[in-house]
Structure 1
Amino acid sequence: MRALAERIHAVLSGINTGFIMLSGWGILLITVLTTYSVTMRYVFNAPDIWTYPLSAYILCFVVFASLAHTHQDGVHVRVDYVLQILPRPLAILLRIVGDVASSVFLALFAWYMWKLLDETIARNRVDETTLGLPLVFIQWILPLGAGLLLLTHLALAFRAAATGRYGREEGGPAH
């Protein structure tokens, strides 16, 4: 069971690393687009109308593509002080309850992101900006990012249970 947990973690870690690298390139692209837009507006007095919505769509990609990696590395906001001061058995029980509750929430979140994409596809929805892009080209990352976050969360919980490790400190993420 331990070997399976480590293998799943390794595969998801590779996928998450790929997405976080794409997110980094997305941030760089947003920076370039913003620099272009500011230069066009204030240096050449020729404002554009396409960089703002495109930057917003790239930011949406960046956020959803980086969710799983952020969770995997435990760099998201969390308060685990209570788990550190509790007796170990109680801290472990609370961690399990938290993992189950988080799993339910993340499953619902991924499901609703899928429903949103499905509705977008069914209705052939188009964005309401000057770009007029089909929203499917933008919204596909929503269920993918939410689903990858759910899988990563489940894999971390499974790995913690299989290895008996609960992160760098009691109650922390399993690394």
Structure 2
Amino acid sequence: MKNTMKSVALTTGLLARVALWVAGAGLVAMTALIAAQVFWRYILNDSIVWTEPASVMIMGWFIFLGAAVGIREGYHLSFDVMLYLVPDRVKLVLYSISDLAVAGFGVGMVWFGWKLAAKTAANMLPSLGISGAFDFAPLVAGGVLVVLFSLERVARRAAGLPTARFGEDAVEH
């Protein structure tokens, strides 16, 4: 099981790296679009109508992709005061419970994001000319990654591999 989980960790690590690069590129693209909008509006006294909705959509992508990667790496928000008081075996159980709760949240992101996308699929975003469902695609994609990365953390812990959370050592690549 350890070898299988190491292979899974390498694959999800690559997926996380790609997601992080996409998120970073999205941040740069959004910044460029906003800068162009400011230049056009205040210097050229004109406006590019599609930059604001495109920037908001791109922002959704880098937020949800970055959050999913943060969950994989153990950087998500947690309340860990009790962890200082309990034995290591209890900590591992509490980590797994936390990861399963996060996975449940990811399932909710996928479920409700999909429902929102389905309800807005027939609407067109006027300035972009695309379906309103695209507004919710980052929520669904981020939710899928949250579930995948959370379950990976539980499986890695069950296999006796570190998860790089709260002082646990990272898996060696």
Q: TM-score range by the shorter chain?
A: 0.7 to 0.9
Partner SS, residue 159 of structure 2:
helix
Q: How far does the alpha carbon of each residue in 1:94-117 deviate from its partner, in whole angstroms, 9 at most, with x for none?
A: 223323333323223222222333
Shift in alpha-carbon separation, 1:138–1:95, aligned structure 2, 3 A: same
Shift in alpha-carbon separation, 1:99–1:174, aligned structure 2, 3 A: farther
| Contact 2:74-2:166 within 8 A present in 1 as well | no
Structure 2 distance, partners of 1:24, 1:166, is 24
> Counterpart in 1 of 2:29?
29
Bigger mean CA offset, 86-95 vs 144-153: 86-95
Shift in alpha-carbon separation, 1:105–1:142, aligned structure 2, 3 A: closer
Report the aligned-residue RMSD. 2.4
The answer to whether structure 1 residue 57 and structure 2 residue 54 are counterparts is no
Counting aligned pairs with the same residue, the percent is 25
| Contact 1:117-1:136 within 8 A present in 2 as well | yes
Structure 2 distance, partners of 1:108, 1:137, is 18
Task: Choose which of 130, 133, 145 in structure 2 pairs with 1:133.
Answer: 130
Give the TM-score of the pair, scaled to structure 2: 0.84
> Counterpart in 2 of 1:71?
71
Bigger mean CA offset, 107-116 vs 144-153: 107-116
Give the TM-score of the pair, scaled to structure 1: 0.83
For residue 68 of structure 2, what is the amino acid of its counterpart?
A: A
Partner SS, residue 163 of structure 1:
coil
Q: Count residues with an aligned counterpart.
A: 171
Shift in alpha-carbon separation, 1:166–1:36, aligned structure 2, 3 A: closer
Q: How far does the alpha carbon of each residue in 1:59-108 deviate from its partner, in whole angstroms, 9 at most, with x for none?
A: 11112222321111223333323212322233233223323333323223
> Counterpart in 2 of 1:41?
41
The answer to whether structure 1 residue 148 and structure 2 residue 145 are counterparts is yes
**Structure 1: tracts of 5 or more residues without a match:** none
Shift in alpha-carbon separation, 1:77–1:135, aligned structure 2, 3 A: same
The answer to whether structure 1 residue 159 and structure 2 residue 156 are counterparts is yes
